[in-house]
Chains A and B, each alone.
Chain A
Amino acid sequence: MSDAKLVEDMELETAVVAVDNPIVEVDNVNMFYGEAQALFDIAIGIPERQVTAFIGPSGCGKSTLLRSLNRLNDLVESARIEGQVRVGGEDIYTPEFDVIDLRRRVGMVFQKSNPFPKSIYENVAYGLRIAGENRRSVLDDAVERSLKAAALWDEVKDRLKGNALGLSGGQQQRLCIARTLAVEPEVVLMDEPCSALDPIATVRIEETISELKKDYTIVIVTHNLQQAARISDLTAFFYLGKLIEYSGTQQMFTKPGLKQTEDYVTGRFG
């Protein structure tokens, strides 16, 4: 409640670039948890095969926005959304839209690595299996391809039948990336994928993300400004549920358009 009031009182300035041919379009989205408003009039386009980073202080709504892109917010009973989110031109919030299909097209990697209590192989094959794919050769190919794309194949190829929970934290996170890639999504959402990892594991994930950019559209939420600067092509800065500035990463971190953004990226607040 207090946050919402604050925004109304402050009348923030905004500067948002328009993106040509976005694969994901967010159009005047307002989002509420019960009475509290979490997102205010968000409008943003996400370009294909680029890395887009969402930054901003805690509670600014960046994760909420991310989770509304694959309708994971549906799980929260009190959540309510206004406006349109389009993926590949289709409005995903119409009642007849197939949410199962959406989640296959828009995959997600979570903050805390969450491998299932199954073998490494079964973890990666899970998405295909639940979609009804049971042919061994198809599954084998998908597992190998995905693990290679997530740069995990060489480390686990000899123990695919081993328990996924026996992997290290960084390996588990890359396994989750592989699991997401196995169903060949168009967009991969990443919700602070490195926040629970040590610096070396973080570097490996970042390298993986840069590789994935060739084939996938990636949206990443991060608290780590250096990370955003290193890996993203576009950066969106959120504050108190509003999109403040959205531009090329280079520009955002060298000559930001707004005082507010400059203060944040230079570490004067946040």
Chain B
Amino acid sequence: MSLKFWRAGDPFIWLTGSALALCLLMITGLVSIILYNGLGVFWPKDIELLRLHSGEVVMGRQVDRQTIPETDEKFRLQLKIGNRDAYGLDFRWVDEALITVREIPAGVVVFERLEWGDAYVFIKAIYEGDKRLAGEGEEGWQVLQPLLEASEERWQRMEELERGEIGELNYRMEEQRLEVRRLLLENAPAEERARAEEKNAELWREYEELSERLVRLRAENERTEVVVELAAGQERRIKVADIVRAYRPNDLSTPGKIAVYLSKGWEFLAGQPRESNTEGGVFPALFGTVMMVMLMSLAAVPFGILAALYLREYARQGFFVRLVRIAVNNLAGVPSIVFGMFGLGFFVYGVGGSIDRLFYSETLPTPTYGTGGILWASLTLALLTVPVVIVATEEALAAVPRELREGSLALGSTKFQMIWSVVLPSALPGILTGVILATARGAGEVAPLMITGVVKLAPDLPVDSYWPFFHLERKFMHLGFHIYDVGFQSPNVEAARPMVYTTALLLLLIVLMLNLTAIVVRNKLRRRYASSAF
């Protein structure tokens, strides 16, 4: 019986089955942890008020509940208490045994601020300058709403001023400064230089005017203040201008909470980062990631496919081609940081440096292309993904049945006609599979980017309204690097943890979406070319 058991291969089937099960378990585990933690971040959980034996009062959101080490049934709670400006910390552990009362007080307001993180407080009064506008509780909340809107409006005007008019002026001033320097370098006649200087001075005057307007707006914004009371009764003042969002989680109904959730989610996707990236949005990183992946594909895919075509269809199969093939396969396995170093040495210092010396000599010693930028990062990643594209394309080409090729040739087609009208269409689904794999690998790669152009904060996107619109020399942000930076390099790691999960989720979604689009396209093609081996 046991002989039959072994011969039938039952243990082997069990082995293969459990290997697959283990893989699935790990993947679903990973995805569900990220989903659970990432999706929950924006939910406005209730704020609890805890009274302790010692008489102390603590207010905050429960983040975690753990057994106290070396005891069995004793628990402690981790609370996010916010108000970093008052307590110096965002989080606090409270022993459950010490709690006498746990309640969910009405009227608690959450202020998300530009600085110092969240504040969990009760409104006491509202002042404009020295004038008292409203008192505590509901009255204060109602009076606060229009003030918040007005402040938001002023922020927008300031932002428009800064980004729009002042941004434009800065751009023109920089042009003018370079013009002056160029004239100096070229030894232009003195009067021409004087004219340029004169124009420069004019721009300066314009600039000062604008910045004065900005200062006035700012001062106007500083005037309204909210007097708040913390859990233990201390009073503090918060400027309305510093408040990004205000809501009362304990008084919200479920639809209200959903509204807050969506609004925070949207801010995350579309907003600029705040507080050294631990709050606010990730839009620049999202934009940078997508743009970099597109640039990378633009560079890697055509080159990879063309190279593979030559290697498989035209090159005489022999020792040398075998050598090239082995080299390409090995290249696909080289650690990505090595590519990063090559990119830094070759693209950034070599190519970029030469471009600077030839075309941007007036800005030197400040480098333009001779420093990391989205172009160099994309090209470095393209280098990293090209071998994968080549290998996959070659395999797809090799899988096109010989009968098809002969059928085409037997009708009097040239080799080029055969490749173009029969071989390539048949191999396309397979080629696309390779491109998907390569792109997905490139989208998640971080190490080579860190030395070729990714930075912690780059609010200026590589695409804007100034000529030539695409600024490929600019540094950029990337979701993968964002995760690393926020999770491990930020001054307040604990507060940044939710951000890490949501950013990871976003990166996963982007890769998933890229893959899904490509898979849909491939399946459409596959239906059309049903004979293909893929």
A114-B406 in contact (CB<8A): yes
Residue from A104, A114, A180 whose CB has the most chain B CB atoms within 10 Å: A114
A100-B401 in contact (CB<8A): no
A117-B528, A127-B411, A180-B411 given; A75·B417 CB < 8 A: no
CA distance A58 to B414 in the complex (A): 31
**A interface footprint on B510-534 (CB within 8 Å = 1, 0 otherwise):** 0000000000000000001111100
Question: Smallest Cβ distance from A259 to chain B, in angstroms?
Answer: 37
**B447 in contact (CB, < 8 A):** no
B426-A117 in contact (CB<8A): yes
**A101 in contact (CB, < 8 A):** yes
**A252 in contact (CB, < 8 A):** no
CA distance A110 to B409 in the complex (A): 12
B403-A130 in contact (CB<8A): no
The B-contacting residues of A in range 119-139, CB under 8 angstroms, are 126-127, 130-131
A165-B530 in contact (CB<8A): yes
**B interface footprint on A173-184 (CB within 8 Å = 1, 0 otherwise):** 000100110010
Cβ of B528: which chain A residues have Cβ within 8 Å of it?
A: 117, 163
Cβ of A165: which chain B residues have Cβ within 8 Å of it?
A: 530-531
CA distance A183 to B407 in the complex (A): 13
Cβ of B317: which chain A residues have Cβ within 8 Å of it?
A: 77
Question: Smallest Cβ distance from A150 to chain B, in angstroms?
Answer: 14
**A interface footprint on B385-428 (CB within 8 Å = 1, 0 otherwise):** 00000000000000001011111111111100100011001100
B426-A104 in contact (CB<8A): no
Number of interface residues of A (CB under 8 A): 27
A130-B411 in contact (CB<8A): yes
Question: Smallest Cβ distance from A187 to chain B, in angstroms?
Answer: 12
B408-A116 in contact (CB<8A): yes
A131-B530 in contact (CB<8A): no
The A-contacting residues of B in range 478-534, CB under 8 angstroms, are 528-532
A-B contact pairs, 24 of them (CB 8 A): A72-B410, A103-B412, A107-B410, A107-B411, A108-B406, A110-B403, A110-B406, A110-B407, A110-B410, A115-B531, A116-B404, A116-B421, A117-B528, A117-B530, A118-B425, A126-B408, A130-B411, A130-B417, A130-B421, A176-B407, A180-B410, A180-B411, A183-B411, A183-B412
Chain A residues in the interface with B (C-beta under 8 A): 70, 72, 75, 77, 100-101, 103-104, 107-108, 110, 112, 114-118, 126-127, 130-131, 163, 165, 176, 179-180, 183
Question: Smallest Cβ distance from A24 to chain B, in angstroms?
Answer: 16
A103-B407 in contact (CB<8A): no
B409-A103 in contact (CB<8A): yes
Q: Which of A100, A117, A179 touches B531 (beta carbons < 8 Å)? A: A117
CA distance A248 to B532 in the complex (A): 43
Number of interface residues of B (CB under 8 A): 25
**A interface footprint on B192-216 (CB within 8 Å = 1, 0 otherwise):** 0000000000000000000000000
Q: Which residue of B lies closest to A105 (CB)?
A: B412
Residue from B408, B409, B529, B530 whose CB has the most chain A CB atoms within 10 Å: B409
**A interface footprint on B337-381 (CB within 8 Å = 1, 0 otherwise):** 000000000000000000000000000000000000000000000
A114-B412 in contact (CB<8A): no
Cβ of A72: which chain B residues have Cβ within 8 Å of it?
A: 406, 409-410
A112-B403 in contact (CB<8A): yes
Q: Which residue of B lies closest to A176 (CB)?
A: B407
B403-A114 in contact (CB<8A): yes
Question: Smallest Cβ distance from B525 to chain A, in angstroms?
Answer: 9
In order of increasing CB-CB distance, the 8 nearest A-B pairs are A117-B529, A104-B412, A114-B403, A127-B411, A108-B410, A114-B407, A103-B412, A130-B413
Q: Which of A77, A104, A116 touches B407 (beta carbons < 8 Å)? A: A116
B406-A75 in contact (CB<8A): yes
CA distance A26 to B106 in the complex (A): 103
Cβ of B412: which chain A residues have Cβ within 8 Å of it?
A: 100-101, 103-104, 127, 130-131, 183
B411-A179 in contact (CB<8A): yes
The A-contacting residues of B in range 121-168, CB under 8 angstroms, are none
CA distance A171 to B530 in the complex (A): 17
CA distance A114 to B402 in the complex (A): 9
Question: Smallest Cβ distance from B401 to chain A, in angstroms?
Answer: 7
CA distance A229 to B408 in the complex (A): 31
CA distance A61 to B174 in the complex (A): 80
A163-B404 in contact (CB<8A): no
Q: Which residue of A lies closest to B530 (CB)?
A: A165
CA distance A107 to B404 in the complex (A): 15
A130-B421, A183-B412 given; A163·B403 CB < 8 A: no
Cβ of B411: which chain A residues have Cβ within 8 Å of it?
A: 103-104, 107, 126-127, 130, 179-180, 183
Question: Smallest Cβ distance from B423 to chain A, in angstroms?
Answer: 10
CA distance A103 to B426 in the complex (A): 23
Cβ of A117: which chain B residues have Cβ within 8 Å of it?
A: 422, 425-426, 528-532
Cβ of B406: which chain A residues have Cβ within 8 Å of it?
A: 72, 75, 108, 110, 114
CA distance A196 to B375 in the complex (A): 55
Residue from B407, B408, B410, B421 whose CB has the most chain A CB atoms within 10 Å: B410
B404-A114 in contact (CB<8A): yes
A72-B406, A75-B406, A126-B408 given; A116·B414 CB < 8 A: no
Cβ of A100: which chain B residues have Cβ within 8 Å of it?
A: 412-414
Known: A77-B316, A116-B408, A163-B528. 4 other contacts (CB 8 A): A103-B409, A117-B425, A130-B413, A165-B530
Question: Smallest Cβ distance from A161 to chain B, in angstroms?
Answer: 12
Question: Smallest Cβ distance from B217 to chain A, in angstroms?
Answer: 65
Q: Which residue of A lies closest to B420 (CB)?
A: A130
CA distance A70 to B410 in the complex (A): 8
Cβ of A114: which chain B residues have Cβ within 8 Å of it?
A: 401, 403-404, 406-407
CA distance A115 to B422 in the complex (A): 10
Cβ of B530: which chain A residues have Cβ within 8 Å of it?
A: 117, 163, 165
Question: Smallest Cβ distance from A189 to chain B, in angstroms?
Answer: 8
Question: Smallest Cβ distance from B428 to chain A, in angstroms?
Answer: 9
Cβ of A116: which chain B residues have Cβ within 8 Å of it?
A: 404, 407-408, 421-422
CA distance A112 to B425 in the complex (A): 20
Cβ of A107: which chain B residues have Cβ within 8 Å of it?
A: 410-411
CA distance A115 to B407 in the complex (A): 8
CA distance A180 to B528 in the complex (A): 23
**A interface footprint on B286-321 (CB within 8 Å = 1, 0 otherwise):** 000000000000000000000000000000110000
